[in-house]
Structure 1
Amino acid sequence: MRPTEFVVFVAAVMAVNALGVDLMLPALANIGHDLGIAEANHRQWVVTAYVLGFGVGQLLYGPLADRYGRKPVLVATLLGFVGASVFAAASATFGALLGARVLQGLMSASTRVIAVAVVRDNASGRQMARTMSVAQMIFFLVPILAPTLGQGLLAIGPWRFVFHALGGFAGLVLLWTLFRLPETLPVERRRAISIANLSSSYRETLTNRYSLGYALAASLTFGGIIAFVSSAQQVFVDEFGAGDRFTLLFAICAGAMGVASFLNSRLVERLGTRMISQTAVLALIVLSLAHLSVVWMGWETLTSYMVFQSLSMTCIGLCGSNFGAMAMEPVGAIAGTASSVQGFITSVGAVLVGSAIGQAYAGTTLPMTLGYLGIGIAVFAIVYVVEEGQLFRARLARVTQP
């Protein structure tokens, strides 16, 4: 593949997962009505069940990708995702749908592992962060467009059309993989699957403070995204009465992350991953404190929520790809397995954090605001420990470092 096609391909692979989360957001109310979900907050499990499967599945695909190569694992799981989408579309009960969603997540977990591993096979450090930022910039168009696409599908048919569309997109990416993706892991670099090798790789990933620390930091910021996505319809439609404007308002907030990725791709090689992400975390804390004051005083409106949420998503977007690149930097020799372990930590941690915030929703934005403040403070504490207190000024003098 040429460099441009490669970046777009990585974005398309990642988009399978993004569509799996965002395409059905406008359909959550329809799903709840059709399948008899009495408690509105329980609709959020359509999102979190998927992310839970996504997190657990990543433990499987790293070792498989390091043993058999990136391409065959991606091909097999894309086929599985298509099948899970058909299963979801045919679900007659909420339990069956949640089972299908977990299966979809298990299958799509390979997209995150393979995307990161393929990029790491070809780049590292700031170059890897820049490639991932450009891919994520394209990838973030998906959450901007997905709810609108989902709304369009609902206009012509039932919510089950959404899952047929997911399977169709995964099928297209499958064909692209079959005919255009070269294998990026040479045979001589492949690792046999054994208890000794897995134990060694897991130990290396979990005992390196950069690998573990930045994976934990990424899990918290991803948790903020899950909290927003899972409760977005309730906040916009139920609390603020946005109605048909939901997809547009959601797109604006999601678009802020796309802007952040674009800025990061332009600045990361000059300023470094640490300077950008640490500044973004501090900004998230300040924004959350200001937002909390607005909510506490009873001044919250749709406009104030949009401003604070969009700016917070920008900060989170500036953290995501940089935390991922820094977590992978010391474990490039075991990129597949390391990516799977880090992905498991990030996704499962995000489900716990995002679910706690989302399930606390009770008609106001206070739980979201408090949750984002807690995320910012916890992330800053983790980064402080990982970097042994050497933040900002110490790193400015070392701009040649990742």
Structure 2
Amino acid sequence: MSASSAASRDVSRPEFIALIAGLMALNALAIDVMLPALPYMGHALGVVDENDRHFVLTAYMLGFGAAQLAFGPLSDRFGRRAPLFVGLVVYAAAACAAVFSPNFATLLALRFVQGVGAAGTRVIATSVVRDRFHGRAMAEVMSLVFMVFMIVPVVAPAIGQVILLTGPWEYIFLFMAAVSVAITVWAVLRLPETLAPERRRPLRADVVLDGFRIVLSNRSAIMYGLAGTFIFSALFGFINTSQQIYVDIYGLGALFPLAFAFQASLMAVSSYTNSRMVRRIGMRRLSHAAILIFTAVSGLWLVLALTLPMPLWLFMTLLCVIMFMFGWSASNMNSLSLEPLGAVAGTASSVFGFIQTVGGAVLGTIVGSFFDGTVVPIAAGYVVFGVLALGCILIAEKGRLFGVGEEYRA
């Protein structure tokens, strides 16, 4: 009996959620564990402009986003497991090779390749969830996955800080490779194949293009996908500048990972509350309320940042509210974008993953490039992206908020 068939019989719902979260967490690990090391990498590899250090994150995100367009059709043709394992091998190999980077350009190239490998984890993880669940049940599972997944941003910067206390920054890449190998073994043994042979789509140009056409022509799906892109752009902008904000502006120094972990933990709590509420209230009502609060509090943050010095307690309070609303928005918007596209779940996941990752990375990097020693640029970014996300939702819903739409209640 194959590992896949055995897993399909034996894997429990909690283990399934934990495994999917672990796969997705490899992406978060590749971003957040790097944050304390950015100054050391920049110094070691001769990076003069400190804002250029952000490219270590951006290069990874670009590879991660672009490769999803390939992993989607591949997973719709060959099933979920095989493409996933190819991506995991590439991820680990690139992490190991980055240890020997002779210059900054080589490091960026390897980070791009590492992102290519990680693309498989994002596409296959969301596709597997869509294969097994739909409607509010899917939103509930995605919220629980996101809750577990958020443990990584909570602990990763602290892990990176500890690694830097015990050795050079290259050790961080070895740590990433070790974790990816462990997750790979778990997936080989326990991840079921969720795409039945009769549901697989041929890997022909006309079929692949038709799959992309189905995804891109669905107004509601694409608009929710774009709304998610703008929300993630705000998050990436904050991640890019978080080390500078907490260390350079507020002087937290080695306490930076604790501040970052606190914000991430709120998003995990938010995802958990979403999982408990979404079956009763619905994806639309929760995400619509969240984006309104997200945008309004971001606007208050910008006004205050422009008119008075922003103390740490006020900055943290406003950001806590915003990040809590992000937790309510992100998983529900992803579920709403995938809900009508179950027949092409792999392709849909790849398209929205590409748009959200590349769009978020590019827009977030633009916001990060405006860092001027204050929180004004990042606050302005949150306001702009919140307004754009709200506009996309209004288009998706034909100008009407808080409707239940055609959500499945199962």
Tell me the TM-score normalized by structure 2: 0.95
What is the rounded CA distance, in whole Å, between the counterparts of 2:281 and 2:371 in structure 1? 38
What is the rounded CA distance, in whole Å, between the counterparts of 1:38 and 1:397 in structure 2? 52
Pair 72,329 (structure 1): closer, same or farther in 2 beyond 3 Å: same
- 2:192 matched residue in structure 1: 182
What is the rounded CA distance, in whole Å, between the counterparts of 2:49 and 2:272 in structure 1? 39
Alignment partner of 1:248 out of 258, 269, 282:
258
Alignment partner of 1:323 out of 333, 340, 344:
333
State the Cα distance separating 1:213 from its structure 2 match.
0.6
Letter of the 1:252 counterpart: F
**2:310 paired with 1:264:** no
Deviations 1:266-302 (A, max 9, x none): 1111111110111011101110121112111123011
State the Cα distance separating 1:380 from its structure 2 match.
0.7
Letter of the 1:373 counterpart: V
**2:337 paired with 1:308:** no
**Is the 1:112–1:343 contact (alpha carbons within 8 Å) kept by the matching residues of 2?**
yes
**Is the 2:284–2:404 contact (alpha carbons within 8 Å) kept by the matching residues of 1?**
no
What is the rounded CA distance, in whole Å, between the counterparts of 1:246 and 1:282 in structure 2? 29
**Is the 1:271–1:399 contact (alpha carbons within 8 Å) kept by the matching residues of 2?**
no
What is the rounded CA distance, in whole Å, between the counterparts of 2:73 and 2:407 in structure 1? 34
What is the rounded CA distance, in whole Å, between the counterparts of 1:88 and 1:308 in structure 2? 37
State the Cα distance separating 1:351 from its structure 2 match.
1.3
What is the rounded CA distance, in whole Å, between the counterparts of 1:86 and 1:150 in structure 2? 16
What is the rounded CA distance, in whole Å, between the counterparts of 1:245 and 1:208 in structure 2? 46
Alignment partner of 2:137 out of 120, 123, 127:
127
Unaligned runs of 5+ in 2: 1-10
What is the rounded CA distance, in whole Å, between the counterparts of 1:400 and 1:201 in structure 2? 23
- 2:355 matched residue in structure 1: 345
Letter of the 2:312 counterpart: L
- 1:108 matched residue in structure 2: 118
Identity across matched positions, percent:
39
Deviations 1:164-185 (A, max 9, x none): 0000000001101111112111
Letter of the 2:15 counterpart: E
What is the rounded CA distance, in whole Å, between the counterparts of 2:45 and 2:408 in structure 1? 56
Unaligned runs of 5+ in 1: none
**Is the 2:58–2:362 contact (alpha carbons within 8 Å) kept by the matching residues of 1?**
no
What is the rounded CA distance, in whole Å, between the counterparts of 2:126 and 2:404 in structure 1? 27
- 1:357 matched residue in structure 2: 367
What is the rounded CA distance, in whole Å, between the counterparts of 1:397 and 1:339 in structure 2? 21
Secondary structure at the counterpart of residue 197 of structure 1: helix
- 2:43 matched residue in structure 1: 33
Alignment partner of 1:193 out of 203, 208, 221:
203
**2:170 paired with 1:160:** yes
What is the rounded CA distance, in whole Å, between the counterparts of 1:106 and 1:342 in structure 2? 16
Deviates more, 1:97-106 or 1:252-261: 252-261
TM superposition outliers: structure 1 runs of 4+ over 2 Å = 396-402
- 2:283 matched residue in structure 1: 273
**2:295 paired with 1:285:** yes
State the Cα distance separating 1:114 from its structure 2 match.
0.4
Letter of the 1:87 counterpart: A
What is the rounded CA distance, in whole Å, between the counterparts of 1:200 and 1:399 in structure 2? 25
**Alignment length (residue pairs):** 400
- 1:99 matched residue in structure 2: 109
Alignment partner of 1:384 out of 394, 399, 402:
394
Deviations 1:356-382 (A, max 9, x none): 111110100000011000011111111
**2:76 paired with 1:66:** yes
**Is the 1:86–1:164 contact (alpha carbons within 8 Å) kept by the matching residues of 2?**
yes
**Is the 1:25–1:147 contact (alpha carbons within 8 Å) kept by the matching residues of 2?**
yes
Pair 46,77 (structure 1): closer, same or farther in 2 beyond 3 Å: same
Letter of the 2:347 counterpart: T
Alignment partner of 2:226 out of 206, 216, 222:
216
Deviations 1:226-279 (A, max 9, x none): 111111001110111111110000111111211110111011111111101110
Tell me the TM-score normalized by structure 1: 0.97
Letter of the 1:305 counterpart: F
Deviations 1:31-78 (A, max 9, x none): 111111111111111111111111001001011111111111111111
What is the rounded CA distance, in whole Å, between the counterparts of 1:172 and 1:399 in structure 2? 37
